[in-house]
Amino acid sequence: MKKLFIVAVLGLGSFMTGHAQEHAIKANPIGLAFGIANAGYEFEVNESQSATVSGLFYNIGDANGFGIGAEYRFYFSSKDALNGWHAGPTAGYVSLSDDFDNSAGFLSVGGQAGHQWIFGEHFLLDVFAGLSFVTGDSDSLAVSINSTAVGLGVSLGYAW
């Protein structure tokens, strides 16, 4: 049993140190100025592709809520899946409510493109733009939305 434990620890240690920059945690600092906090976890799928899962929290005026998102990236400019030019599909869901017990849910599907740089060994900067189709409704407000949206973003993060 002791040998199995030692082999497992050594194997895990070599996995953690042998594969540099296959994971990243990042957040959008500009969104905080507008009442939107979002953070994501990006991980390498293969040497030129990655996937991201993200969580969002909104607190704008009387409205607050949460959101979840997913993105798949294809990296074009290098063999490092977390560095360089990228593009790919995105999807997300946002649930909002206000102080008057009104609520709404929105689904978005679209695409995004941008460039991500890794500075030094671990710090990253991601600049991106996207276009999405947004649909949703609010039973309490009797409102339905079907629209397109353009998004711009900057994220700072840590890669390992």
**98-141, pLDDT tens digit by residue?**
988 899 999 999 999 999 999 998 999 999 999 999 999 987 77
For 152, residues 6+ apart whose C-beta sits below 8 A from its C-beta are 128, 129
Q: Cβ atoms within 10 A of the Cβ of 84, count?
A: 17
Please report which confidence band the pLDDT of residue 52 belongs to, taking 50, 70 and 90 as the band edges.
Answer: very high
Domain ranges of the chain: 23-159
Which one has a higher pLDDT value, 128 or 143?
128
- Name the CATH code of domain 23-159 (choices 3.40.228.10, 2.40.160.20, 1.10.101.10, 2.60.40.10): 2.40.160.20
Burial, 52: exposed, middle or buried (Cβ in 10 Å; 0-12, 13-18, 19+)? Answer: buried
Determine if the pTM surpasses 0.85: no
Please report which confidence band the pLDDT of residue 78 belongs to, taking 50, 70 and 90 as the band edges.
Answer: low
Q: What is the pLDDT of residue 50?
A: 97
With b for 16 or more beta-carbon neighbours within 10 A and e for fewer, the 96-112 pattern comes to bbbeeeeebbbebebeb
The yes-or-no verdict on residue 7 having pLDDT over 50 is no
Where is 18: in which H helix or E strand?
A: helix 2-18
In the predicted model, what is the mean pLDDT of the chain? 87
Residue 121 structure tokens: 């060994």
Q: What is the pLDDT of residue 19?
A: 41
Q: Cβ atoms within 10 A of the Cβ of 16, count?
A: 9
